[in-house]
Amino acid sequence: MSSAEHFARMQTEEIARVTGPSGVAQPPTRRRVIAVVASLTASLTIFRLELLKRLVGAGHEVIAFAPEQDPRVEQALTEIGVRFIRIPMVRTGLNPLEDIRTFWSLRRHFKRLKPDMVLPYTMKPIIYAGIAARTLGIREQCFLVTGLGHIFSETGGRSFKALAIRHLCVRLYRLAFKRARVVFVYNDADAEDIRRYRMLPDALTPTMVPGSGVDLEHFAFARAAPGGPVFLMVARLLRDKGVVEYVEAARIVRRIFPDARFQLLGHFDSNPTAISRQEINGWVGEGILEYLGTTDDVRPYLAACNVFVLPSYYREGIPRSILEALAVGRPVITTDLPGCRDTVQPGVNGMTVKPLDVAALADAMTSFARDPDLAEKMGRRSRELAESRFDVHMINRILFAGMGLAV
């Protein structure tokens, strides 16, 4: 059984588990004040817009917390009836003073606003919103683990520092999850690590959900334009995302297929593993890479490519960028790692390669360059996979049932 088939079976079992034998959740319908906490303001509309709409549409008062000021996001949230509050938070780094500031800010807001439920996602919101909610006795604590992060990956390191950071993270997760109602996870590897490190109370098990999902109407199927192969990678510009490997593999492929194009779309980041602007400019200057900058709408770029590539060795949950590519109907080349491999049925809608293996990545891209019909054939299967497994509305039903909210 492939990892994608295994994931599909787990998804079916999860729907049955949280909805019961009738297939329809029957939770209480009481109106709640729900605090949604994010570490990146833009993620509230990129990843959570449909969930937030559904929460408001079900009659709940929703308050979103995130660190950056982003007028477009704040306007979009206002239009759907979500209140936005900025909080201090540094997404990366281990500055204890900054993290304490985040904790006290959340605790102060929670004490004043008295939410009935907290729903944080990503590491720092989960830890500090979870601990703050626990100290205030907020009973409905629901957590969305979108990926445990690089420190829990095989490439996260075995140094004393790496092990010490992992140990600290485990202890903080245990504190945050101590009174959890539900802990959602995106892949079986994260679920296994949560069990292995005993992060949850004994009576609680992780609830599987297939990523953030994708709006299949917004990301409609689009036939690729004929012509030479155009490969596209969309990601934050981090080494862990496989940007360097993508460029090195492109060098190899272009020796055989000089007309092949390799595009990169994504924003620069403050993370310690970030790719510099000088590196990007160097690759562009060599003629290997087309850097497309950033965008608020990735659909035209997906429509213009033939194959989507994400050679990430970061500890992903389930990459949203891949889900969008599936929906538009693009075959995917990604790594055989948790989260990434859950989006691909090898030989059916794409290919998986070992992380950091430039030669294997180049071979996979060469297969599509040699056979233009392969991309179209696999791309249609990608769309079918998105429809059957990653529809955002189906995923939101799982989230609602797990949180005990009326659908």
3-state secondary structure the chain: CCHHHHHHHHHHHHHHHHHCCCCCCCCCCCCCEEEEECCCCCHHHHCCHHHHHHHHHCCCEEEEEECCCCHHHHHHHHHCCCEEEECCCCCCCCCHHHHHHHHHHHHHHHHHHCCCEEEEECHHHHHHHHHHHHHHCCCEEEEEECCCCHHHCCCCCCCHHHHHHHHHHHHHHHHHHCCCCEEEECCHHHHHHHHHCCCCCCCCCCEECCCCCECCCCCCCCCCCCCCCEEEEECCCEHHHCHHHHHHHHHHHHHHCCCCEEEEECCCCCCCCECCHHHHHHHHHHCCCEECCCCCCCHHHHHHCCEEEECCCCCCCCCHHHHHHHHHCCCEEEECCCCCHHHCCECCCEEEECCCCHHHHHHHHHHHHHCHHHHHHHHHHHHHHHHHHCEHHHHHHHHHHHHCCCC
Helix axes 123-136, 160-177, angle to 10 degrees: 40
Q: Tell me, what's the pLDDT at 299? A: 97
Q: Tell me, what's the pLDDT at 407? A: 67
* CATH, domain range 230-389: 3.40.50.2000
Q: What is the pLDDT of residues 108-117, one digit of tens each?
A: 999 999 999 9
Q: Tell me, what's the pLDDT at 394? A: 96
**What is the domain class of 19-212+392-403 according to CATH?**
alpha beta
What are the sequence ranges of the domains in the chain?
A: 19-212+392-403, 230-389
Cα dihedral 242, 246, 247, 248 sign: positive
Q: Tell me, what's the pLDDT at 150? A: 72
Q: What is the pLDDT of residues 44-82, one digit of tens each?
A: 999 999 999 999 999 999 999 999 999 999 999 999 999
Q: Tell me, what's the pLDDT at 149? A: 74
Q: Name beta bridge partners: 26.
A: none
Token code pair at residue 24: 């329809």
Q: Tell me, what's the pLDDT at 24? A: 44
Q: Give dist(CA 342, CA 344) in Å, integer.
A: 6
Low-confidence ranges of the chain (pLDDT < 50): 1-4, 12, 15-16, 18-28
CATH topology agreement for domains 19-212+392-403 and 230-389: yes
> Around 399, how many Cα atoms within 13 Å sit in the side-chain half-sphere?
27
Q: Tell me, what's the pLDDT at 120? A: 98
